[in-house]
A = this chain, B = another copy of it.
Amino acid sequence: MPRVSRKQADLNREIIVEAATRLFRERGLHGISVVDVMGAAGLTHGGFYGHFESKEALAREAGGRAFEQSAERWKARIAEHDDKTAARHALVDPYLSAASRDNPGDSCPVVAFAGDMCHEATDSGLRQTFMEGLDKLLESYGSLVNSGDAERDRRQALVEYSLMVGALTLARATRGEPLSDEILDAARAFLTADDSTTTAAIPIL
């Protein structure tokens, strides 16, 4: 049943990108084929190149969208809370949850793609998309770290965000083992510790 309406074609393109956004995060940039993506969108593979120049072009678009979604979600979570500690919980707790670990398709694109980026050429478009997305997320995260000393805050944000990425990565790699929950719990407790409930402040560099 070929030749659908222009409106339907635009919708199909949208469905393909949405499916790819999820699948690339779930199985990695090289873990999913054009046939897989088109199948997930309810189409056959032949029509793919009517919508996209190449598989890599789709990866760039789907990856970029994943970053946009994450950045918006972060901003919304932080904006919901006036209290700094509450905002921190609102961002860190879901990020380092079992749900986040078990649903990479709807989770952080940095964790999903960081491994693949290591093998990507410096001038690759994917890598540029990754860098822009990472910068945006780091900027969002920065609003949680706000002592007045910009340099110290920057380092603190980098440390905390690196910990989030490392902990989620390790939790996924060890999924099914007790260690996996242990890592999430330790990192979550560390990042959401505050003066009133623990023996030490949020660490200062």
Contact = CB atoms under 8 A, between A and B. Distances in A.
A170 interface: yes
Contacts of A182: 154, 158
Contacts of A204: 198-200
B162 A167 contact: yes
A98 interface: no
A55 B200 CA distance: 49
Contacts of A186: 154-156, 158-159, 162, 205
A52 interface: no
Contacts of A142: none
Nearest to A171: B162
A201 interface: yes
Number of copies: 2
A173 B104 contact: no
A68 B191 CA distance: 31
A118 B173 contact: yes
B114 A170 contact: yes
26 contacts: A28-B119, A30-B30, A31-B119, A104-B118, A114-B169, A117-B172, A122-B175, A122-B176, A131-B174, A131-B179, A134-B170, A135-B179, A155-B186, A158-B167, A158-B187, A159-B187, A165-B166, A166-B166, A186-B205, A189-B205, A190-B205, A198-B204, A198-B205, A199-B204, A200-B201, A200-B205
